Amino acid sequence: MTPVDTVTIIGTGMIGTSIALALTERRVRVHLQDASEEALRIAEAMGAGSLAAPGGPTDLAVLAVPPRHVPGVLSDAQRRGTALHYTDVASVKTLGRAGPGGPGFDTSSFVGGHPIAGREKPGPAAARGDLFHAKPWVLTPTAHTSDATSGAARQLVELCGANLVTMDAHDHDRAIAVTSHLPHLLSSLTARLLREADPHALTLVGSGLRDFTRISAGDPELWTDILGSNATAVRDALEVLAHDVDTTLRALRSLTAGGEDRAADEDAEARQWLRTVLEEGRDGRARIPVKYGPQDRVFAQLRVALPDREGELARLLSDVSRRGVNVEDLRIDNDPKSPSGLIELLVDETEADKLARWLTDLGWQVHAPTPA
């Protein structure tokens, strides 16, 4: 397999520039292209690659443009002989398949790609070379895709430190409609309701809503394109959801129907529907792969009160490491109104109690460990 030594990045937004940074760090020569002079200048200033034209076709070109631009940009790049192989990063993978006269580009030198990683912030300044680190990266080769093209795209995934997932393009689009596009829509539809909310009401917001609406902070223009490009699969997923929403509405209307004369069994039926939704939701949620390494390790959470003084965190972690315990994760729970904070340490369950005693003996204020 020919190694990928030179890459053209077409589109230096957040994703394109992040790929460029990852490749540059691995000593791949990267050439940057973008319609926006400003985006190019920022990406170059970040060390993402060169603005100079390469001496000939690069080994690979990565199209990091919005989904609906992929077919046009691809056919144009192929015509110009930009690279030997092509891939993209759009979150919709069945683009340009239909239509009369075929997709309008050479399908043997192109393989669709979709790294499952992102940030809410757009633009090259938000790029990070480690964005794809240990994240899934889907490739959707077809019967037309040449082995050399597939090989080049696989090298890209590897160079970015991502985990390769190979899928059929239609399967990908149906899956991502449920795991990403539908949640994005619902998050936006719900967040919209907050525009009218009383400022007083907004003080009631907890971390649940904050997490639920995080994705709705994404770039509206890009997401209009994504939803429009995957309209069929998103429509199918939303049809199912809309039906369930209607059933839920009927249940709630039945529970709020006035008068003493409403039937008790209707009430019971309505509550049973709510219970089913909640139980099955919990079951569905439980199928999401866990974040932390080997599944057979059990972690415990240790909470320690931390004065907001310089060096206190270092002193705490130094005390932890003197005990020989490795911290798997760590979070600071800041209180906007108080100078002190709470720190949550995620440690192996088998070590939690010993560590809690050790830290308490050293004078730290430690809460009893809880299951993580």
Considering only the stretches 5-13, 30-38, 201-209, 351-359, report the one whose residues sit in contact with a second copy under the rule CB under 8 A. 201-209
What does the alpha-carbon distance between residue 302 and residue 353 come to, in Å, rounded to a whole number? Answer: 9
Select 148 or 313, whichever has its Cβ closest to a second copy. Answer: 313
What does the alpha-carbon distance between residue 218 and residue 122 come to, in Å, rounded to a whole number? Answer: 8
DSSP-assigned letters across all residues of 253-306 = HHHH--STTS-HHHHHHHHHHHHHHHHHHHHHHHTSPPSSSSTT--EEEEEEEE
Residue choice 147, 292, 307, 357 for contact with a second copy (CB under 8 A): 292
Binding status of residue 128 toward a second copy by CB under 8 A: yes
Select 284 or 363, whichever has its Cβ closest to a second copy. Answer: 284
How many helices and strands in the chain, by DSSP H and E?
13, 11
Q: Smallest distance, Å, CB 183 to a second copy?
A: 4
Q: Smallest distance, Å, CB 263 to a second copy?
A: 16
Binding status of residue 263 toward a second copy by CB under 8 A: no
Binding status of residue 55 toward a second copy by CB under 8 A: no
Cα 327 to Cα 334, 349, 363: the distances in Å are 19, 11, 19
What does the alpha-carbon distance between residue 125 and residue 188 come to, in Å, rounded to a whole number? Answer: 24
Select 55 or 371, whichever has its Cβ closest to a second copy. Answer: 371
- State both tokens at 310: 């310089």
Its sign, for the CA torsion 344, 346, 349, 351, is negative
Residue choice 1, 35, 53, 205 for contact with a second copy (CB under 8 A): 205
Considering only the stretches 36-44, 70-78, 113-121, 354-362, report the one whose residues sit in contact with a second copy under the rule CB under 8 A. 113-121
Binding status of residue 357 toward a second copy by CB under 8 A: no
Using CB under 8 A, which residues numbered 12 to 41 contact a second copy? none
Q: What is the dihedral of CA 172, 173, 179, 180, to 10 degrees?
A: 130
Exposure string of 187-224, with b = 16+ CB inside 10 Å and e = fewer, is: bbeebeeeeeeeeeeeeeeeeeeeeebebbebbeebbe
Binding status of residue 356 toward a second copy by CB under 8 A: no
Using CB under 8 A, which residues numbered 228 to 257 contact a second copy? 228, 231-232, 234-235, 237-242, 244-246, 248-249, 252-253, 255-256
Task: Show the site string, 157-196: x = touches a second copy by CB under 8 A, - = not.
Answer: ------x-x-x---xx-xxx-xxx-xxxxxxxxxxxxxx-
Binding status of residue 324 toward a second copy by CB under 8 A: yes
